[in-house]
Structure 1
Amino acid sequence: MANGKWTKRLSKSALIFGIGAPVVALVGVTLARYDIVGKLEGFSGILAGALIAIVGLVVGIVALVLVMKKGGSKKGVLLGLFSALVYIGFLGSRVASSGDVPALHDITTDLTNPPEFAELSLRADNLAGVETVDNWRKMHSEGYPDIKSITIAKPVAAIIADAEELAKQRDWNVAAANPDTGHFEATASVSYIRFQDDVVLRAVPTEDGKASIVDMRSVSRVGVSDLGVNARRVRSFLDALVEKSR
């Protein structure tokens, strides 16, 4: 009789843990999305959900063994196990999709003279995770050797106009777009949680004045590693600028 009670309790616990994991994560990211809690605090809900899911897997496996030995309904146990496995699988796929990227959150095409923000502010702890500018440059050059300045056969003013148009198409909040100085700034929101990353673009004329040298920088406002998000943004945006010049 006692064994039967433990089997039922474990089965119920497996179901609660399995379903509770994604619920905890969803509540956390939703609160962060609407700035009821901080972005990192909300993101921690995803990690808390992962721990709950792992516990759910362990409890579920034990409960399933007991059910198979002692008898009873498997539906609740299997549902809990399925929910936990799906959640853990989802998280695993997200980590795998980021690839082997360096733990950076500040990405630029010019490591020697990165474009500077004027309207927006660079985060005070921008060296978090790298400690020194030299470390940042080393990790950046090794992790993203392909991210470099580009030259586009268009005048500076046209480059800034194109950048503003592309940013609006991506629903970025434009903070500055000055065709005279070749300076552009905007803020992009990332994922459901709406992490905010700041972008600055600089365009200067070539010596012959027939083209423009374009540099870009994308910086996450919080966190240490961006899982490659800023690098993908820089590549995508610059590719779009080049495409518009054809």
Structure 2
Amino acid sequence: MAEFQTRYHEVRTTRSAGLSRGMASFAAVLLVTVVLGHRRGLVDTTAFFWVLGIVALLAAFALLLSGFAFSRLWKFGDRGGHDLTFGALLALVVLAPFGFVAYQIATLPMLRDISTDVDDPPALTAAASLRTSAMNRLEIPTAGERTLQTQSYPLVAGRRYDLSLDQVLQSVSAVLARQGWEIVVPPPAADKATGEVDIEAVARTFILALPSDVAIRMVDDGDSTFVDMRSASRYGRHDLGENAARITAFLAELDQEIANQAGTATTATPEQ
């Protein structure tokens, strides 16, 4: 009877630790697979978010199972320490990105549409026709959202260059080519009589390839050209700071491009 109890005891312990390892391994493989599939366009974004939720649940359960197995090991001297340790560590690795996202949600403003001109954002005309019912609607930011953006992202500001519209357009096109964004509305080849050129593109995040619609507006202001930019996420109520980072990075690169081409570049903050 004692031998039977010992064998039964070992089987239960090995099963908890083994389940932890197997579940964590499956969560890790599923995470890598769905991320690669979404980046290659094989997984729909809505389904992608659901799978990410499943991955987080699997990793959390794996961590709980490893904790249960550890309690058995601590109290009764059961076996399975190697499996539960591997399962716990792998589960923590899988959960780390989710923890980082939770931190960003808690510390960054809940915005999804950022513009250098909060009062008159560049139009996303083509983007509106490309968005489905599952995506965020393109709406005029509320007064609260405009104030929140101004307070949270003071560096998101338009640029004024002491150059002609054609010269600025040439530099903007060069920066766009390096970004690798999908151009939806290219700049007109001619007929700039209105004194304004608008470009629309689709940009994607580096790792998850989540899409955002981008608009760039260049306005001829006589002896100078003013550049405004807008970036709006297609999915999610929170952009995790991605749109503001995209705009500031693009305009910083545009500053450098114009400095290299023309020798000088000046910037100005638009009236808010």
Q: Into which bin does the TM-score normalised by the smaller protein fall?
A: 0.7 to 0.9
1:12 counterpart = 2:23: no
Percent identity between the two aligned chains: 24
Change (3 A) 1:143 1:224: same
Structure 2 equivalent of residue 241 of structure 1:
254
Structure 1 equivalent of residue 91 of structure 2:
84
Q: TM-score, normalised by structure 1?
A: 0.86
Alignment of structure 1 residues 145-224 onto 2, 5 Å: 145-175=154-184, 176-178=186-188, 180=192, 181-206=196-221, 209-224=222-237
Aligned-pair CA distance for 1:96: 4.1
Question: SS in structure 1 opposite 2:128?
Answer: coil
Question: SS in structure 1 opposite 2:219?
Answer: strand
Q: TM-score, normalised by structure 2?
A: 0.79
Structure 1 equivalent of residue 121 of structure 2:
114
Look up the equivalent residue of 2:60 and give its one-letter code.
Answer: I
Structure 2 equivalent of residue 126 of structure 1:
137
Look up the equivalent residue of 2:109 and give its one-letter code.
Answer: P
1:28 counterpart = 2:38: no
Instruction: Tell me which structure has the larger Cα radius of gyration.
Output: 2
The structure 2 residue matched to 1:232, chosen from 232, 245, 260, is 245
Change (3 A) 1:150 1:111: same
Structure 1 equivalent of residue 264 of structure 2:
none
Task: Provide the C-alpha distance between the structure 2 equivalents of 1:85 and 1:194, rounded to a whole number of angstroms.
Answer: 23
1:72 counterpart = 2:79: yes
Task: Provide the C-alpha distance between the structure 2 equivalents of 1:132 and 1:172, rounded to a whole number of angstroms.
Answer: 25
Task: Provide the C-alpha distance between the structure 1 equivalents of 2:98 and 2:46, rounded to a whole number of angstroms.
Answer: 17
Task: Provide the C-alpha distance between the structure 1 equivalents of 2:78 and 2:127, rounded to a whole number of angstroms.
Answer: 63
CA contact (8 A) 2:105 2:238 kept: no
CA contact (8 A) 1:150 1:215 kept: yes
Range with bigger deviation, 161-170 or 95-104: 95-104
Aligned-pair CA distance for 1:97: 6.2
Range with bigger deviation, 75-84 or 28-37: 28-37
Structure 2 equivalent of residue 49 of structure 1:
55
Question: SS in structure 2 opposite 1:245?
Answer: helix
Change (3 A) 1:226 1:242: same
Question: SS in structure 1 opposite 2:227?
Answer: strand
Alignment of structure 1 residues 96-111 onto 2, 5 Å: 96=103, 100-111=107-118
